Structure 1
Amino acid sequence: MTKFEPVWLTIPLFDGIKPEKPYHKEHQKRTMQVFPVQNLHVLARSDVETEGNGEKYLLRISADDYYKLWVNGRFAGQGPAPAWPEKYYYNEIDITEFLHPGKNVLAVHLYYQGLINRVWNSGDGRFALTAQLICRSSEECLPLSWKYKISEAYTGETTGYETQFLENFDSRRWDADWNLPGFDDSRWEPMIKAEWADYTCVRQPTKMLAVYERAPETVKKEDGCWYVDIGREITGSLRIKASGPPGAEVEILCGEELRKDGSVRCDMRCGCTYREIWTLDGGICELEPYDYKGFRYAEIRFGSGVKILEIRVLIRHYPMEDSLCTLRTTEEKLAGIFSMCRNTVKYGTQEAYLDCPTREKGQYLGDAVVTSRSQVWLTGKTEMLRKCIDQFALTKDICPGLMAVAPGAFMQEIADFSLLWSQLLLTDYAFTGDKGFLRKYYDTARGVVNYFSVYEDESGLLDRVSEKWNLVDWPENLRDGYDFTLSRPVVAKGCHNVINALYAGAFRALTEIERILGIPASCSFEKIRAAYIEAFYRPDRKLFADSKQSGHCSLHSNLYALYFGLVPGEAADRVADFLEEKGFCCGVMPSYFVLKALADAGRYESVYRLLVNEGEHGWVNMLREGASACFEAWGKEQKWNTSLCHPWATAPVSILIEELAGIHPDLGEHNGYRFEPHIPDSIKEFCLTVPFGGKQLKVIKEDGRIALYQQESCGSFFHSAIDTRDM
């Protein structure tokens, strides 16, 4: 295969610009000279001659910040996934089916956002395109000559945490048919070589997004206003066709929920306001959205003379085949929770594990610990997890203790998240058994522990990790009265529990990685465990307190202790009892660790009871409040800016599969998994299918028996179970 040696092109507006890297410690005083251009849309075209005779053609393409590609007017893909310039991605697309013998046109809609945020590494003066078209049989690179035009059709202010520009679209300024052969681009200017290009390019390790259209579930048509319900929260945009007088305006409101009067709440509680204006040109126009939103409902308002001809929904997400992981059960609450969580993972996994597809649109390390485990179970694939691991590992050059967001120009540090990074490594190993991949990132895992070790006191515990945010839980009102001052950025002097439990957990993970790789232990988990018990364990109560000085025992100070194996044998039952008593008096993300800790303690009935509890803190409450995707908090009003699609809340996916259905990754077993079901007696019928190791597994409970089936290579299931348990 011809080696990809990218030639980066830009436009004169960016010529001679020396890009400025945004990297810095979060609290380091630094002023970045942001390039003044923002929200720039550029259309570019290149003609190319191809032959017939069954030739196959491969396009290698990348852009900074982003591209959308059409070949002869047909959409062919978009990308690349956000990345660091030091390891930037290009896509490989087989475009054979889009081409015909003779003259063809490649057309790209390029975008430079220009903001410093969690989405792209933008605002740095890098705007570029590279493309290489290869004839597969001859390995010849076909010449491409790109011409461009800046589009003035898009205007708008920022929304969310300045993570996107609203798209007020003016059809009068849009070049209709710009991506079709025969379009007159004679007045367009040639792109020029980007002399400053300093990218290190690698092939994108993940697939391109699945992008497709479908009709809304319902459209209610009234004079001057159409109401749209997609049927569930999605990630994407609206495609609308309309006609009307030149200059006529169509107001488009999108939101995650409705007001009491049935109107769409476009000023969403998560902090985004999705209100945009589309200006018609006098003919039949089509709305051309570029960026995406997270929403379910839309309200289309228009005046006299305007006719809405068609509304479609353009959906995007990382490829996920719904049929691979399914649940059928007579327990409606459990079925609803599973469906809600699956939708959340589907639409919250874009080209990264997003915090949310609305306000932040960024990949947070701590969120990814929960989301990635769910996504790997739902898809049977680990490529997205591996990209996530790598992108956070690359932040070690900013701080050996790693950053909280990757990639992206927004520099944020959260100690709790950094200490959980090695959990991602162990998840990959559990599902793949790949020691080579584990070894590749061993030094990073050890570097995280070494970074935090400088904060150790004489006992080996961390004292005042002030350089990074000590989160404990978020929002603050869900910390169960945690008795230690953590007002950001102020961290009180002294040792507090959660940061040290997570530090001990990082020790434990590093020790496990070293055992797997046959490397002598570089640290002593037992030593830090003993120091942790000495500092925080209260023998009279058989519980753990929030700090060395405190007598308050919060849920958080005990859930991580149980999860990471820090509890003395004499207290194991009491701590498990305490977690049962407390329930989910915590945020949504720690619920994963609560449930895993209880399962490890053998409290499976409690796991199920908490999973389907009908209180205000539980997934049933989300369903009760109309959720089709998991909320950021247990209820809409439990956080001041709750997003209604937050994948860090999808713990039930892995809990249901591993702890209830009983499928555990286990490299010591012949098939790479062990089967230990704990489906409660109250569940009379249960049928779960799940992808694992290239096969499909099916767990069925009926008539008091639980059976495990494994898929044959031809795609059907064995007629007899490979494991059967009487309940």
Structure 2
Amino acid sequence: MSATIVHTAYPEDGAAEFDSSDETLDAVWDLMDRSLEYSVQETFVDTPTREQGQFLHDTVNISHGLLATEHERVASRQAIREFMLSQERYWTSGNDAGRYNAVYPNGDGKRDIPDFTEVVPAWIWAYYLESGDRALLADVYDNLSATAGYVRRHIAETGPTQGLVTRLTGGSGAYQYGIVDWPEHGRFGYDMSAAARTTVNALGVDVLRKVALVAEALGRPAAEVQSYVDDADALAERMNATLRRPDGTYVDGLLADGTQSAHAGQHATSYAVAFGIAPEQDLPALGDYLAGMGMKQGPMTSHFLLEALAASGSYDAVLDLLTNEDDYGWAGWLAQGGTFTPEAWQLSGSANSASHGWGSQAVVDVLDSVLGIEITAPGAAEVTFSVPDTGLAHAEGSRMTQRGRVSSAWTTEDGALTLDVEVPVSVSGIVELPAGDYEVMGPDGAAAKELGTADGLTRYRVGSGAWTFAG
């Protein structure tokens, strides 16, 4: 018996690297890195062992990961263009306008899932941040504008759910108005009877904000850009007015009569935090609330939970979620003998694939929120380096960017911190450290520009070369 292992070719010297003082975290990184690598053949695949075509949400998650871990560009650019073609082929008029096929290209014909459509603008913006490919951004702007229109058309102007995205047209059966997560048990009881779902509304805010960023990057008229911003802000404000409990946590949505759902699943609050909707003063408490729930989201959306924990400042909870062997999640899956991220934390029924790359987008959270390397300007013109307060004693790693490889290595011991970063030519580095005084050593005696101390952080701007910060 023999097996042929197939995956697409990735750029030479494009692989990211990561190592830390936590062996379980390192094994989780290896799991996700390996899973991503084998999730592209001629196209993105939902699983290399049960190929069912290029599913949109799978593609988005896997592409996010590979842009960072393998410097992948070709398959992502191809997939973006193919899903734009699905819109132009099937989704151009009436309530159809602005949607994308749930799978494309394949023989399914016209088929969509609403919240699959809603993750597309953020995907394309992430591709632009990584690549700086403004030409593609310009090519797809009309498609993204149509997607913003799709969300806007479903914001109720009157009635019990006024001001909220309500029954977002699309899908069928269990997917009608949105899938939330997959499979059913991966929703952990989410109230699918809600007419105005919190997850769909949060994604709607993100659609409008990301299209605003695209419009601004393309130099569209200021009034056009501002209209997206204003609509996003109004939707977020309405969410906060109607979808929160007195303690600030979010319910699953509003029912058709305007009453709140009795259920408040983890998805609802994690989405509100991850997409910048929850009030800033509530974030610490919401982070504690989410952390206390453990893992109550499926692999498809688990990265949103990590983003929410990081946004709330709960970096120790980010590490706990990634490494907890006694709960659902990556470490728990490894403890069961898993070698590839799964379709669901608990396999059953048709959700029985033990090799689904969509659970590996969290590799980006390891880079951003554990190692502390984040691209913060298109084409990696700016990269931010930080030392997240996860409780790790040491982490080091590197990743390729459009302008060259960036690296970071830091150690914390007995209250002392040492950070070494390497910045390529034509990249501006922002270094964010816990508030304090630091000795800074730059290349050939170069000096870092001090940006001041605020919100518990001391910040510097640095140019290319090797830099050391000690304090």
Q: Distance in 1 between matches of 2:28 and 2:14?
A: 17
Q: 1:426 aligned to 2:125?
A: yes
Please give the secondary structure, in 1, of the residue aligned with 2:282: helix
- Determine which of 150, 170, 173 is the counterpart of 1:467: 170
Q: Which residue of 1 aligns with 2:352?
A: 642
How far did 1:439 drift? 1.8
CA contact (8 A) 1:511 1:525 kept: no
In structure 2, the gaps of 5 or more residues are: 92-96, 427-441, 445-464
- Determine which of 324, 327, 337 is the counterpart of 1:616: 327
Q: Deviations over 1:22-74 (max 9, x none)?
A: xxxxxxxxxxxxxxxxxxxxxxxxxxxxxxxxxxxxxxxxxxxxxxxxxxxxx
**Within 5 Å, which residues of 2 pair with 1:105-504?**
238=2, 313-320=3-10, 321=12, 324-397=15-88, 398-399=90-91, 400=97, 401-411=99-109, 412-458=111-157, 459-468=162-171, 469=175, 470-485=178-193, 494-504=195-205
Note closer, same or farther for the CA distance 1:589–1:698 as it changes in structure 2 (3 Å cut). same
CA contact (8 A) 2:128 2:379 kept: no
CA contact (8 A) 1:353 1:363 kept: yes
Q: Deviations over 1:461-504 (max 9, x none)?
A: 2222343231011111122321232xxxxxx7x32222112112
Please give the secondary structure, in 1, of the residue aligned with 2:45: coil
Please give the secondary structure, in 2, of the residue aligned with 1:544: coil
Paired AA for residue 495 in structure 1: A
Please give the secondary structure, in 2, of the residue aligned with 1:391: helix
Please give the secondary structure, in 1, of the residue aligned with 2:233: helix
Q: Distance in 2 between matches of 1:467 and 1:663?
A: 37
TM-score by length of 1: 0.52
Q: Deviations over 1:325-383 (max 9, x none)?
A: 22334422112111111111111111222111122432122122221121011222322
Q: Deviations over 1:377-421 (max 9, x none)?
A: 122232221111111111112013111111111243110110111
How far did 1:668 drift? 7.8
Instruction: With a CA cutoff of 8 Å and minimum separation of 6, indicate the structure with the bigger relative contact order.
Output: 2
CA contact (8 A) 1:472 1:498 kept: yes
Paired AA for residue 530 in structure 1: E
TM-score by length of 2: 0.79
Note closer, same or farther for the CA distance 1:405–1:535 as it changes in structure 2 (3 Å cut). same
Q: Which residue of 1 aligns with 2:386?
A: 676
Note closer, same or farther for the CA distance 1:590–1:725 as it changes in structure 2 (3 Å cut). farther
Paired AA for residue 101 in structure 2: M
CA contact (8 A) 2:20 2:392 kept: no
Q: Distance in 2 between matches of 1:653 and 1:344?
A: 10
- Determine which of 516, 536, 540 is the counterpart of 2:217: 516
Note closer, same or farther for the CA distance 1:726–1:479 as it changes in structure 2 (3 Å cut). farther
Q: Distance in 2 between matches of 1:465 and 1:694?
A: 40
In structure 1, the gaps of 5 or more residues are: 1-227, 229-237, 239-312, 486-491
CA contact (8 A) 1:385 1:424 kept: no
Q: Distance in 2 between matches of 1:444 and 1:681?
A: 43
Q: Deviations over 1:222-256 (max 9, x none)?
A: xxxxxx6xxxxxxxxx4xxxxxxxxxxxxxxxxxx
Please give the secondary structure, in 2, of the residue aligned with 1:605: helix
Please give the secondary structure, in 2, of the residue aligned with 1:700: strand
Q: Distance in 1 between matches of 2:212 and 2:14?
A: 38
How far did 1:626 drift? 1.4
CA contact (8 A) 2:371 2:396 kept: no
Q: Distance in 2 between matches of 1:558 and 1:517?
A: 33
Cα RMSD for the two superposed structures? 2.6
Q: 1:546 aligned to 2:252?
A: yes
Note closer, same or farther for the CA distance 1:380–1:501 as it changes in structure 2 (3 Å cut). same
Please give the secondary structure, in 2, of the residue aligned with 1:553: coil
Note closer, same or farther for the CA distance 1:699–1:638 as it changes in structure 2 (3 Å cut). farther
Please give the secondary structure, in 2, of the residue aligned with 1:472: coil
CA contact (8 A) 2:410 2:420 kept: yes
How far did 1:600 drift? 2.1
Q: Distance in 2 between matches of 1:389 and 1:355?
A: 16
How far did 1:710 drift? 4.5
Q: Distance in 2 between matches of 1:568 and 1:648?
A: 29
Q: 1:697 aligned to 2:406?
A: yes
Greater percentage in strand: 1
Q: Which residue of 2 aligns with 1:556?
A: 267
Note closer, same or farther for the CA distance 1:712–1:558 as it changes in structure 2 (3 Å cut). closer
Paired AA for residue 6 in structure 2: R
Q: Distance in 2 between matches of 1:639 and 1:416?
A: 23
Greater CA deviation, 496-505 or 318-327? 318-327
Note closer, same or farther for the CA distance 1:646–1:719 as it changes in structure 2 (3 Å cut). farther
Q: Which residue of 2 aligns with 1:532?
A: 239
Note closer, same or farther for the CA distance 1:683–1:618 as it changes in structure 2 (3 Å cut). farther
Note closer, same or farther for the CA distance 1:719–1:556 as it changes in structure 2 (3 Å cut). same
Q: Deviations over 1:257-280 (max 9, x none)?
A: xxxxxxxxxxxxxxxxxxxxxxxx
Larger Rg over CA atoms: 1
Q: Which residue of 2 aligns with 1:109?
A: none
**Aligned sequence identity (%):** 25
How far did 1:560 drift? 1.0
Note closer, same or farther for the CA distance 1:679–1:558 as it changes in structure 2 (3 Å cut). closer
Please give the secondary structure, in 1, of the residue aligned with 2:342: coil
Note closer, same or farther for the CA distance 1:570–1:393 as it changes in structure 2 (3 Å cut). same
Q: Distance in 2 between matches of 1:466 and 1:703?
A: 51
How far did 1:639 drift? 6.1
Please give the secondary structure, in 1, of the residue aligned with 2:38: helix
Runs of 4+ in 1 over 6 A off after TM superposition: 718-721
How far did 1:624 drift? 1.2
CA contact (8 A) 1:337 1:652 kept: no
Q: Which residue of 1 aligns with 2:363?
A: 653
Note closer, same or farther for the CA distance 1:504–1:703 as it changes in structure 2 (3 Å cut). closer
Q: 1:506 aligned to 2:196?
A: no
How far did 1:566 drift? 1.2
How far did 1:671 drift? 4.5
Please give the secondary structure, in 2, of the residue aligned with 1:380: coil
Q: Distance in 1 between matches of 2:138 and 2:14?
A: 34
